[in-house]
Amino acid sequence: MSDILLNPGPTNTRFMTKFYQWLGSDKCHREDNFSCVLKDLQNKLLSKLALGVTGRIAILGGSGTAAMEAMISSLIPNDVLVVKAGKYGIRACSIMDVFGIKYGVVESSTINDLQTLPDVRYVYFVESETSTGERYDLDRMCKIYPNAKFFIDATSSFGASDYFQNSDRIAALSFCSNKCLQSTPGLGIVIWNNEMDTYRRSYYGDLTKYHIGMMPFTLPTQSVYALNYTMLKNSNNKRMFDKRRDEIINQLNRFGITCVNKHPSNSIIGFQHPKKSYKELHAFLKRRGMVIYSGIEGIENSFRISTMSIKFDKDMKKIVGAFRDSCIY
């Protein structure tokens, strides 16, 4: 039996997701039947935003970082403002440095740090900062930067967020298959508004090469089949992720395990244990068949829990019981 994965991806997947992964293993990516599956998947993903005819999508073989790099290299202009709120904001700046993109930076530990700036045209931010568990909600970002278009690292949030209300403010977003979409690893994905200018700074990550129903390079066909199935199960997951976040925070708080986030993400949350270090807690829970994620820099006895696993609801009592016991033994 597999561990309950409370890390932020790869995560536990459904049996049928694994079946479709197997089904797609021996497929030629240049055949019409695979192109139909790819087109179906692309349209399902595009339906999560209200971009209409201006919506474009690229599915690449790669991780969330591969998608982030493709978005940055192909779409980010020189006058972008980067909200640096953790390790993934730092990573975005490092990628921009590689491509010689000029950018401004605002440091932030929580969305409350940000000041209203009406003159900013483009903003890059991480919606759910995996390294801290803080959430930068798009609704609030639209008010803080009222005239900006947004480039969003949605790696740990796509599938747990609702973008319809503010789709007109989205320039582009990047994410992957193996986090909140609850599928297998292998796909990096970028959705963007085709009214944005494009830049050919990369070869593999050049988004102008990607079109509906086709791809310029070999894709992991098994991951496409798996995600296409999984998307059938992802109709309104924001409500589910919000409920999971609220429940785990309330349950662990009973034992003195406190949430350290001022605005906790609904997919990855930071906690502080009253007794055990991360290393001690990880070993304790591993013996119970659970995997947690490492702590937050500067916070003693901290750790992170992801709500992405398909086992999360079914095994909630087991999860809560293990954390209760960690405070006793």
**pLDDT tens-digit profile of 103-138?**
999 999 999 999 999 999 999 999 999 999 999 999
Residue 26 has a pLDDT of: 87
Residue 172 has pLDDT above 90, yes or no: yes
Residue 245 has pLDDT above 80, yes or no: yes
Average pLDDT across the chain, whole number? 95
Residue 235 has a pLDDT of: 62
Could you read off the pLDDT of 293-325 as tens digits, one per residue?
A: 999 999 999 999 999 999 999 999 999 999 999
Asked if 187 and 10 touch (Cβ cutoff 8 Å), the reply is no
Residue 15 has pLDDT above 70, yes or no: yes
Residue 236 has pLDDT above 70, yes or no: no
Domain extents for the chain?
4-8+236-326, 15-233
Residue 277 has a pLDDT of: 97
Could you read off the pLDDT of 39-79 as tens digits, one per residue?
A: 999 999 999 887 877 899 999 999 999 999 999 999 999 99
- Domain range 15-233, its CATH number among 3.40.190.10, 3.40.640.10, 3.40.50.2300, 3.10.20.90: 3.40.640.10
Residue 101 has a pLDDT of: 97
Joined together, the tokens standing for residue 143 give 């008010």
What residues form DSSP beta bridges with 126? 153
Q: Cα–Cα distance between 314 and 309 in angstroms, integer?
A: 10
Residue 237 has a pLDDT of: 86
What residues form DSSP beta bridges with 55? 193
Superfamily of domain 4-8+236-326: Aspartate Aminotransferase, domain 1 (3.90.1150.10)
Residue 52 has a pLDDT of: 77
Task: Calculate mean pLDDT across residues 88-95.
Answer: 98
pLDDT above 90 as % of the chain: 88
Which residues, 6+ apart, have CB-to-CB distance to 110 below 8 Å? 85, 134, 261, 262, 263
141, 142, 143, 148: CA torsion to nearest 10: 110
* Lowest pLDDT segment from 85-94, 182-191, 226-235, 303-312: 226-235
Could you read off the pLDDT of 277-286 as tens digits, one per residue?
A: 999 999 999 9
Residue 195 has a pLDDT of: 92
Q: What is the pTM for the complete model shown?
A: 0.95
